[in-house]
Amino acid sequence: MQLVFIGFGEAAYHIASGLKAEGLTDLGAYDRNAADPQLGGLIQQRAAEVGVKLFESLESAYQAGEFIACLTSANSALAVAKSVIPQLKAEQVYIDMNSAAPTVKAEIAQIPHNEGVMFCDAAVMGTVPGNKHKVPMFLAGNGAAKFAAAFFPYGMKLTVLDAKAGGASAIKMFKSVIMKGLPQLMFESFEAAVKYGVLNTLVDSLASSLNGKTVEQLADTFTARTMIHAARRSEEMQDVVATLENLGVDAAMSKATLAKLDLLAKHNWVEILGTNGDKMNYQEAMKALIENKE
């Protein structure tokens, strides 16, 4: 059997549905809840709908698959891998698609295994229900290339990284720093703006600064200049924190920004980066930042 899922919840169902539409019919799955009186009905219904064979045991499932994709949960990823990977045979590929930390994926890669068994750290980089099997994934580890080669023909959007297991999941985690942190900055700023009655004007002002710029352009604008002007911006953020607190707004994000700026201000970045440092691209600025961290 070409692909067997461990865990046949929403994500596995939608991926299987998309693959079936592309002509892949050799699919199986094991889900410990398949026989549950409350949860099993939906699992069995979905499996029948997309032609996925449900196995009665975990062992029978992983023995049958060339590619074994784990989609259980981040909390159980390591435990499931420890129970499966040592039992696999040469040429089988274990793919962990859970949103687990890169350290967990790296630990899975170190689980003792038979010669020829491969592991792929797969980071799912979008919403599965809307994209199905075409949801973008970053792949790392020694099984990444084999997985990608086998499923490219079925329309999967797989990017193989030149990275060890954990590298793919690291991208997803570090992207979350921005994508989950940015809304918190908005909440903090917008709440204060509402209390002053200027929310729409604030958004318009942000638009004039940000709209039309690429992420690369923003990174180049923000990185070196923030380092160089950290002391002045720290003073400005002190007033921001005081204003937010006077309004009764939780200033946690602004306080964190202030603390980061204070750390940056301990260095003479004008001297370190040079006279044209404010024009330095973000890659060079980050290299200088890491080299000069205390």
CA dist., res. 149 & res. 166, Å (int)? 20
Sheet holding 67-70, edge to edge: 53-54, 27-30, 3-6, 67-70, 93-96, 118-124, 137-140, 158-160
CA end-to-end distance (rounded Å), the chain: 53
Neighbour tally for 235: CB within 10 Å: 11
Its sign, for the CA torsion 218, 221, 224, 229, is negative
> Which residue among 172, 175, 255, 279 is the active-site one?
172
CA dist., res. 170 & res. 173, Å (int)? 5
CA dist., res. 265 & res. 194, Å (int)? 32
DSSP reduced 3-state for 219: helix
Decide if 172 is catalytic: yes
Catalytic residues: 172
